[in-house]
Amino acid sequence: MNRPETLPRSAVADTKTRILDAAEALFVAGGFDALSMRQITASAQVNLAAVNYHFGSKDALIESVLARQLDTLNEARETMLDRLESTLGDQLQCEHVMAAMFLPAVRISRSGAPNADRYLQFLGRAYTDPSSVVRDFIDTHYLQTLGRFFQAFQRTLPQLSVDDLAFRLHFAMGALSGILAGGDTQRLLKEFTQGQGDHESFLLSRLISLMAAALKAPLPGPTDPNMFDHIVKLV
């Protein structure tokens, strides 16, 4: 922002970047609560007070760490959704919208960008970290992109009311978080990063199939609408 443009980038990163890199590495390794200001500053070889000077607080630091990676991801997601919408037009289905949500992360992780190999590890941490700081920031950060995707889902699922769609998307997103938060995350990420194209397609299609089934479920329910009353009286 207010850094002079004429200043040449030195061979070693400046203090602010060193703090960001150190915090990100420690965050990926152990999550937010395993982070201490003294650990970060020692790892970055800067003074303890440097974090507060450059970022204001520990919370603001980790938000900067998250934004540095998630801004790019959400841009790619919206771009991919735009392309799919303009290419497919009325043939757009909710599976395409979900692909636009999940594919960009995989692609970034396979690009030649620095630390690309750890990108999905970072995402796994960011999406599953239990701290309210991380969760609140991600929720806020997703608000704009999520609205964009909500409209796309509305187009592909016109039979659902706004309330029902919100309910089911909430359901589906919670399911995704649950999968990422589960003990299988490591295995899941391994398949993402190391698996062949077949594995990647298979896993993503399996995930998307499930979410599509939940989104497309008939409104009155697949069974007798009064089934629940029946159960209540049964026990």
152 binds a copy of itself (CB under 8 A): no
Task: Tell which one of 25, 60, 103, 189 touches a copy of itself (CB under 8 A).
Answer: 103
> Segment 1-20, which members bind DNA (CB under 7 A)?
2-3, 14-16
Q: Is residue 59 involved in binding DNA (CB under 7 A)?
A: yes
What is the residue whose two structure tokens read 């701290």? 131
Rounded Cα–Cα distance for residues 197 and 186 (Å): 18
Q: How far is the CB of 234 from a copy of itself (least distance, A)?
A: 6
Distance separating alpha carbons of residues 100 and 21, to the nearest angstrom: 28
233 binds, among DNA, a copy of itself, none (CB under 5 to 8 A by kind): none
Per CB under 8 A, does 173 bind a copy of itself? yes
Task: Decide if residue 39 touches DNA (CB under 7 A).
Answer: yes
Contacted by 147, from a copy of itself, DNA, none: CB < 5 to 8 Å by type: none
Cα torsion through 139, 142, 146, 147, rounded to 10: 90
Can you tell me the distance from the alpha carbon of 180 to that of 67, in angstroms, rounded to the nearest whole number?
A: 20
For residue 140, the partner it binds in DNA, a copy of itself, none, with Cβ less than 5 to 8 A by kind, is: none
Q: Is 46 among the residues that bind DNA (CB under 7 A)?
A: yes
Residue 49 interacts with which of a copy of itself, DNA, none, CB < 5 to 8 Å by class: DNA
Distances (CA, A) of 67 to 2, 51, 135, 189: 18, 17, 13, 21
Q: Which member of 147, 184, 195, 199 binds a copy of itself (CB under 8 A)?
A: 184
Q: For DNA, which residue of 29, 48, 88, 227 counts as binding (CB under 7 A)?
A: 48
Token representation of residue 96: 């395409």
Pick from 47, 87, 161, 205 the residue near DNA by CB under 7 A: 47
Q: Which is nearer to DNA, 15 or 193 (CB)?
A: 15
CB 18 within 8 A of CB 44: yes
Q: Where are the alpha helices (DSSP H) in the chain?
A: 15-30, 37-44, 48-55, 58-88, 94-110, 119-128, 132-156, 162-181, 185-194, 197-216, 227-234
Place of tokens 């399996």: 206
Token pair in block for residue 37: 């200001």
Interface residues with a copy of itself (CB under 8 A) are 33, 80, 83-84, 87-88, 93, 95-96, 99, 103, 130-132, 135, 167-168, 170-179, 181-182, 184, 201, 204-206, 208-214, 216-218, 220-223, 225, 227-229, 231-232, 234-235
